[in-house]
């Protein structure tokens, strides 16, 4: 029997790129997937790919650009009538390449909203029910980016994600709900750009390591997907 058979995962930003690979990787382990994109039309390719692997797939659409749109997305997930056992917070934005002195308050706020605040909102929506059921996995996408001032807001948000992951893991210690951070590596995606050294598919199998951890594993671990790349 596949290890994730009977489980449901919500993978944000899974209509393409890294998120699609994560979704299909979970499906290969028997996990059904809730695919998320900005529009339902965008999700169809991933839905088809997941279902081709013999598991169920549902789709939800929604922006992460405000607390209200995230609330609407959460409601749409609840309305599906399935329990989220795995929350994979993959979605993020990078912002414009510009001198750090030229980043505005609006730049900081918009990137913080998508990369940090929406992630926290999703964790708070689905984490408590995982704790009640006695099992769950939450994976927050991090980044190895550092000392790139022209992408300062993006870098700072990923540092915030790392710290929040540690705090949430401490809250859930001993509950069999494991929270992890994952650095996917610099990959040739819309976010990473064509100059990135890694192919998007190299996020696997590393991206699945924090999901497949034994229940008694250390909580709050940080993983680098490229450490497992073949």
Residue linked to tokens 């709900």: 177
Token digits for 62?
């929604």
Dihedral of CA atoms 100, 197, 200, 220 in degrees, nearest 10, equals: -60
Q: Are 23 and 11 within 8 A, CB to CB?
A: yes
Respond yes or no: is residue 228 known to be catalytic. no
Write down the catalytic residue from 154, 164, 222, 228: 154
Decide: 122 and 76 in contact? Cβ < 8 Å: no
| Helix boundaries (H) for the chain | 17-28, 40-51, 67-79, 105-112, 118-133, 152-171
- Give the HSE-up count for residue 61: Cα atoms under 13 Å, Cβ half-sphere: 7
Residues β-bridged to residue 89: 140
Q: Phi/psi of residue 65, each to 5°? A: -85, -5
| Residues known to be catalytic | 154
């Amino acid at each position: 029997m596949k290890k994730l058979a009977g489980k449901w995962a919500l993978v944000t930003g899974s209509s393409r790129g890294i998120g699609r690979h994560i979704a299909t990787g979970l499906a290969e382990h028997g996990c059904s997937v809730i695919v998320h994109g900005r529009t339902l039309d965008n999700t169809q390719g991933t839905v088809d790919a997941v279902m081709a692997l013999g598991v169920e797939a549902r789709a939800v659409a929604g922006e992460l650009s405000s607390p209200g749109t995230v609330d609407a997305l959460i409601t749409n997930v609840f309305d599906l009538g399935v329990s989220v056992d795995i929350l994979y917070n993959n979605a993020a934005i990078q912002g414009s390449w510009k001198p750090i002195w030229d980043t505005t308050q609006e730049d900081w706020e918009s990137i913080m909203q998508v990369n940090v605040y929406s992630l926290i909102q999703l964790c708070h929506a689905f984490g408590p029910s995982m704790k009640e059921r006695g099992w769950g996995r939450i994976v927050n996408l991090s980044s190895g980016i550092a000392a790139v001032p022209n992408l300062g807001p993006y870098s700072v948000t990923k540092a915030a994600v790392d710290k929040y992951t540690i705090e949430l893991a401490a809250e859930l210690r001993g509950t069999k709900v494991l929270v992890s951070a994952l650095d996917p590596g610099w990959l040739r995606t819309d976010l990473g750009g064509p100059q990135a050294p890694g192919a998007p598919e190299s996020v696997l199998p590393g991206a699945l390591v924090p999901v497949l951890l034994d229940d008694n594993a250390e909580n709050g671990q940080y993983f680098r997907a490229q450490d497992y790349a073949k």
